[in-house]
Structure 1
Amino acid sequence: MNKAHNPPAIAQPIGGTYSHGLEVPANARTLYIAGQVGLAPDGKLGATLEDQAEQAWRNIEAILASASMAPTDLVKIVTYVIDPRYIQGAREVRARHLGTHRPASTLVVISGLADPKMLIEIEGVAAKA
């Protein structure tokens, strides 16, 4: 079982939606997930931030399942959005997929992704004993 670390000596996670650190047991398998965008299996890209974020999370869940893991095994995620206006939407979709699970998390606003139509990309690391 991964253990969250949010020491009282530092400010608590903003909004309480992530952990500052997650400790992984020595016997855990680790899965590194490349950045996932809103591309569906048929190659179609969602039109909105919410569409793309939902598909990116479905892609992550499929990768996790292929390794016999679940979203609760995520220990670190990094979310990239191309506009600060997308931050709240990205957080809302993440909350739907993670529920009360709080991996270490970073959200970065960048100037663009590999395709100008891409609005969000999410990468992750999962660990399971």
Structure 2
Amino acid sequence: MPFARLIGLEVTEATPEKVVGAVTVRAELCTIGESAHGGTLMAFADCLAAIGAHLNRPERAAGTITIESKTNFLGRAASGTRLVGTALPVSVGRRVSVWQTTIEDEAKRAIALSVQTQLVL
């Protein structure tokens, strides 16, 4: 996933039941005020959910795409903060899967909560 490399995603666990990864907030991923941009948080969550959907896709499927995404921003992540995201499946079907991703800082403070729907191609 080239975009995942761009944001610095490090995947630490990837199974069909759970995907965990980390991103360190750097200046290029921030908005004014040196806080993680909302798009950074959404992209981080989307990457983790996409990995989970990919791991659950039927054998002959070409891939998956996000068809819906909603994120609640719960806290500020300053530049230099290491974030940990955990994506868990809410529902996995043959054509659609729904994933909930929590993003926390290293102190376990909630930063964002995201729900994505992934379509199997």
Normalised TM-score (structure 2): 0.33
Larger strand proportion of the pair: 2
Instruction: State TM-score, norm by structure 1.
Output: 0.32
Larger % of helix: which?
1
Structure with the greater relative contact order (CA < 8 A, sep ≥ 6): 1 or 2? 1
